Structure 1
Amino acid sequence: MKHFYLKYSPSFCKILLIVLFLFVGLSASVFAQQKLRVVIAGLNHDHIHNVLQQFNKGEVNVVGIVEPNKQLHKKFGKLYHIPDSLFFDDLKNLLVLKKPDAVLGYNAVGEHLAIVQICAPLGITVMVEKPLAANLQQAKQIEALAIKHNIKVLTNYETTWYPSYHELYNTINKNSIGKIKKMIVHDGHQGPKEIGCSPEFLSWLTNPVLNGAGALNDFGCYGAVLMTWLMKGHKPIAVTAVTRNYKPDLYPKVDDDATIILEYPEATGLIEASWNWPFSIKDLEVFGETGYLHALDNVNINSRIGENKMDAKKAEPMTIPFNDPMVYLAAIINHKLQPSDDLSSLKFNMIVMEILDAAKRSAGSGKRIVL
């Protein structure tokens, strides 16, 4: 049998490689073919820097911003070269005029409901920064509006985009450590004042009405959503919580430390949320029947199987569209994803709000709250 080989010149090979790279790039960007047109509601949440940096890079198209504080207009306008023409006074008028794909909530948690009340009748998707609302009553109103007007209301967490957490989740789903028996989440930092949060952010973050609590809401929500995810959307049987105020001079109105225990039929979850850590921390530990996994941060994972088999590794990068909130949001709006059982979904975040509500009631009464 004769074998035939085709010979290609070096220049042809280079062209072929370029074409292949372009094809891969185009395939990878299928979820973000059209840049999102978004409206920003609020500038007094310090996480706003994330989306404005993307705006400056041309990754998202901000068609309007509503923020009552004119000083913040000047601050962010100068910092991110935002033209005055993008600032508006009235959210509803802006939405009717610009017809954006989505509204991003970067205001006080207690004001998320007001955004949804305006967006829902107009059929506009909303993504807010965590948690969904300041309290369960507000969350229920948000849910009712989302159902009535058939809109998506999503909640954005920094840890949703951590490759390490997703690799841990996928490892557990492969039954690599057996059934989950205990979950531990540490979240927090030295304190919002101590790390230099802006005065506008602090004004509502330390307000029991606008934030709903202190560290309990601010950082307890991370553990609540992660455990809801790991437990496949099942609610805990009961919640027990203790809150402390170690720094009353700095935070006189809200807790600055919260410990929350979640009871599941065959597992226990421990959420440790604090403004009193000696350093910033966001980690996740899971103990199974035969092994242990620890996501130390967004990329590093330690594991241990049995007594002696230990390993440390770095997680692989997340795949599109699960690598970035704006890419994910574009996939939702373009009907390429259905967020029914994921970290951003309204379904999971209603459970988060039930957990946080029970934690507040438990801390206030000293009793175990059965859901």
Structure 2
Amino acid sequence: MKSLVVSFILLFMSISLPGVGQDQPVKIGIAGLTHSHVHWIFGSEKRGEIEIVGIAEPDKELAQRYADQYDFPMTMVYDSLDEMIAEKNLDGVTAFGSIYEHLAVVEKCAPEGIHVMVEKPLAVNMDHARKMEALAKKYGIHLLTNYETTWYPTNHEAYDMIKNDSVIGDIRKIVVRDGHKGPKKIGVDSEFLDWLTDPKLNGGGAIIDFGCYGVNLSTWLMDGSRPHKVTAVTRQFQPENNPNVDDEAIIILEYDQSVAIIQGSWNWPIGRKDMEIYGVDGVVYSDNRNDLRVRISEGYDGYNEKKYHLDDRPAPYDDPFSWFTAVIKDEVTLEPYSLSSLENNMLVVEILDAAIRSAEEGRTVSLQGN
């Protein structure tokens, strides 16, 4: 009788106590392999928070290359996302196809209650973005966007210094620079290059591929404020490599008391992802993932400088897929307009749409609703 009571108590605890089973990896499906950032999730699986249980990729030759590299059986690979969803009990799906395909992924996953993380940016345009947002809200799924710079400890330290410690005073100017020599010059896979330089499948060239980083960071630093005006200039310096899209973009965002200048380029001689944040009293330089500098003004052109070399953030804030797992398990809470949030990334797409229109029409575009 005693053993029966103990068994009943243990059964009740296993049903009633929150967090039981929370240590189990979430089951993740991968939608597409043509985006080379997919290497990231295969590396992250080793951490143990996720289990990749299926891959939807019709190009079997491409899938075989990944299978050989990461030692998974081709039986994991499905011809379509529909087939994978039907056969696997998925907690989440990560999208690694073209940006244009993000909408289709959400259309198939949301009605099944499957959470989605896409690679940056959220969508190719606002029409796609609005449809994705509506589906996510209707079916109650998380719809997240992954940027490499989201996981930089320097960016978060800069945010804390400015927002919590007021180290440099109110923000007056944000300058963000992202890019490299160009996708063909750095030798991206042909499957990636094909859609990355397609204006329909990627939404644009460097203005989308690298302009989105600065818009995302500026939206975060500005607490989700919408800029009043957007002005952009695009150029094409490598027509032989990028015949159908821009490869140079400068975007200027005008806020109430500050501006953001975003430089996304496929023409940097040296790859970079860095940011400068100017306040009334000084400036914070987020030089790369781990190196940060702070200069406090002294006189006309003098300054006191401190340099920091930062360790990576603690788990799960150091890896997108560990963090995706924590969101799915309700272990972390999404803050409004945080870097991966739907609110932030809806505004990112709206601003990018305005920037493309500004560049095409040669004029400043005013955003409504301010």
Larger mean Cα displacement after TM superposition, 67-76 or 213-222: 67-76
Larger mean Cα displacement after TM superposition, 188-197 or 304-313: 304-313
Q: Check conservation: 1:164, 1:300, Cα contact below 8 A.
A: yes
Q: Check conservation: 1:32, 1:331, Cα contact below 8 A.
A: no
Q: Counterparts of 1:152-191 in structure 2 under 5 Å? A: 152-173=142-163, 174-191=165-182
Residue number among 292, 297, 306 corresponding to 1:306 in the alignment: 297
Residue number among 232, 240, 245 corresponding to 1:254 in the alignment: 245
Aligned to 1:358: 354
- Partners of 1:135 and 1:341 lie apart in 2 by 19
Uncovered stretches (5+) of structure 2, i.e. residues with no partner: 1-19
Question: Is 1:328 aligned to 2:319, yes or no?
Answer: no
- Partners of 2:43 and 2:322 lie apart in 1 by 15
Shift of 1:230: 0.1
Shift of 1:315: 2.2
- Partners of 2:337 and 2:278 lie apart in 1 by 23
Aligned to 1:370: 366
Percent identity between the two aligned chains:
46
Uncovered stretches (5+) of structure 1, i.e. residues with no partner: 1-29
Aligned length: 343
- Partners of 1:154 and 1:56 lie apart in 2 by 22
Shift of 1:320: 2.7
- Partners of 1:322 and 1:32 lie apart in 2 by 17
Residue number among 184, 188, 193 corresponding to 1:202 in the alignment: 193
Aligned to 1:21: none
Shift of 1:134: 1.1
Counterpart of 2:329, as a letter, is N
TM-score normalised over the length of structure 2:
0.90
Q: Check conservation: 2:49, 2:322, Cα contact below 8 A.
A: no
- Partners of 1:157 and 1:345 lie apart in 2 by 11
- Partners of 1:111 and 1:336 lie apart in 2 by 29
Question: Is 1:337 aligned to 2:328, yes or no?
Answer: no
Shift of 1:108: 0.3
Aligned to 1:193: 184
Shift of 1:321: 2.4
Q: Check conservation: 1:31, 1:327, Cα contact below 8 A.
A: no
Aligned to 1:109: 99
Aligned to 2:312: 317
**CA RMSD in angstroms, aligned pairs only:** 1.6
Q: Check conservation: 1:214, 1:256, Cα contact below 8 A.
A: yes
Question: Is 1:292 aligned to 2:287, yes or no?
Answer: no
Q: Secondary structure at the match of 1:172?
A: helix
Offset from partner CA, 1:227-255 (integer Å, 9 cap, x none): 00000111111100000000111111000
Q: Secondary structure at the match of 2:184?
A: coil
Shift of 1:59: 4.9
TM-score normalised over the length of structure 1:
0.90
